[in-house]
Amino acid sequence: IETMAIVALLSLLSLSLSVAPPTYPATYSFNGTFTITSAPTVIPLSVATNGNKGQQRFDSYGGISSNIVNLAAKEGAQIVPAVNKLICLTAAVGPTVSHGLGGLGDEPLLDFLPSLDGWAFNGTRSYSSPITGTTYAANAWVLNWTNYTVYSEFTFLARSSDGAPLALVLDGRDWLFGSHAEVYRMEYDPDSVSFDTPAESLFDLPTLCNTSASAAPRRHSRHLLSPLHSTLHAYLPGKSSGAKHVAALADNAAVVKQANEGAARHTARLHLDLAYLTAEERARVQSRRPAGALRRARDANPHPVQRVAVPDGDWTPPATLSWRGKSVLSEVLSQGVAGTCYAFGASEALTAAWAITNREFIPVSEQSVSDCAWGVAGEGYNPAAGGNMGIDGGFASYVYNYFLAYQDKNGVQSLYDYPYESQDGYCRATERKDTGLRLKTYMNVSGVNETIFALTQGPVAIAIDASLPAFSFYSGGVFEDANCKSDPDDLDHEVLLVGYDDESWHIQNSWSARWGDAGFVRISRKYDCGVTSQGTLPIVQQA
């Protein structure tokens, strides 16, 4: 009661008094959580930063995954689980050093404790910490930011008594990790916060990173080693924006304007997570299928796979078909800060196949796929063989290969028992409940007739070209662009095909329900962006 009374009194006083925000030093450490509301995922974090030396480390899920940047040594790494062992994925880092996705820019360290210059004081409120279970009197500062049609609201809460950080709420753009527009919460344990200089040894790469059997370059990452970190500061007060990202915003706004005012058959809007990215950066963020010849690797298959056979004779396809709204699809989710589109496409197709065949809805766990289906068929980390690499991307067909090889040993887990974490993790399949869902085989699908016939059986996991700016900012209508490619080497994103009409294909994406038309997109059948080039249809066993 006393605490609430104090908060009420402070709130009244704050109506007429503005409180100066805390200023945090460049060296700090703390424990906390990062919540992705649309996944939904709560990631426990332990963070240490020495901004004076360009050093940062954060460990998630109690140290299961570690991320290290050391600009002084021009090195960085992620230490992550691959099925049942730790591996080290390395990258050269620094303002002038390139790694798998390009340089990190001038400000590669994450703003876990941002500068509040330019934020408006928003009064004092009561805040109940989910970490400590304690209710605090908290001062609040808000930054409302609008540019073109992009709008975000950021709220920072600090303990009134000493300025210790409590929470950072990102409603819109996730400028910490660069993922899709959503409501994100960074929550701090205020009693764990220290501004002492972290030990130098925290930023040393472990010996694991020096062994060739365990170390390899990171192909993709939206975690600490992402080059997007230099773009995430483009509008924050006191941060250098970078001319190329200001220019990128103008270019992307022009794309949206052209779609909305020109002859395009679709509408567009500036999605918060993509608005500041250059075309090259956008392609890197969205591309989560291995590049080049590896995209044809499904043809060299360890399991005999048939093609979908269109019936002989006078088979007449339905004029239109849609599985949307028929209780066989998983809800539209977000792959968040990971390159797991292949896991979403394959898992959602398998979920739908089981629901159609056995009248039982079991949402297959995307995280179990990311954790357990490393390698071509789950054999573990093998960069030479290509195949699936956890949050680094993969193929739907390799997911099915994993299930065919390991489902009797590992089982098949549901999203409820093996929730999505948006990061690499150990394979915990045998520790979680087996749903009893079993894959019988799967069929490769290509060509219009095969694709339509396959859709009459159930939703199809497909690969598309998602690299065009116009696609990134799609919001409704029929997406039709003659520049959209369909060769397997150009297909960079796995999605779920759920229907068609006489002019378009209907697709469920994994960029959250705030993207596109509530998470869906219609792609023209004239320029189909690869919809009919490389699909897979899972066939499940009878229960």
Catalytic residues: 341, 493, 509
Strands (E), 308-360: 321-322
Cβ atoms within 10 Å, residue 305 = 17
| Residue found by looking up tokens 């210790």 in the block | 164
Q: How far apart are the first and last CA of the chain?
A: 57
Q: Are 199 and 47 in contact (CB under 8 A)?
A: no
The CA dihedral of 92, 94, 98, 100, to the nearest 10 degrees, is 50
How far is 543 from 539, CA to CA, in rounded Å? 12
How far is 537 from 397, CA to CA, in rounded Å? 9
How far is 375 from 281, CA to CA, in rounded Å? 26
Q: Are 298 and 444 in contact (CB under 8 A)?
A: yes
Q: Pick from 367, 395, 226: which is nearest to 303 by CA?
A: 395
Continuous H helices in 364-481: 366-372, 396-410, 448-457, 469-472
Please state, in angstroms and as integers, the Cα–Cα distance from residue 175 to each residue in 220, 223, 345, following that order.
18, 12, 26
| Token pair for 498 | 């759920």
How far is 512 from 520, CA to CA, in rounded Å? 9
| Token pair for 466 | 């998602």
Q: Are 169 and 185 in contact (CB under 8 A)?
A: yes
Q: Pick from 482, 458, 479, 461: which is nearest to 521 by CA?
A: 479
Number of DSSP helices (H) and strands (E) in the chain, helices first: 8, 24
Please state, in angstroms and as integers, the Cα–Cα distance from residue 410 to each residue in 95, 177, 202, 361, 434, following that order.
44, 32, 36, 20, 8
Strands (E), 205-257: 215-217
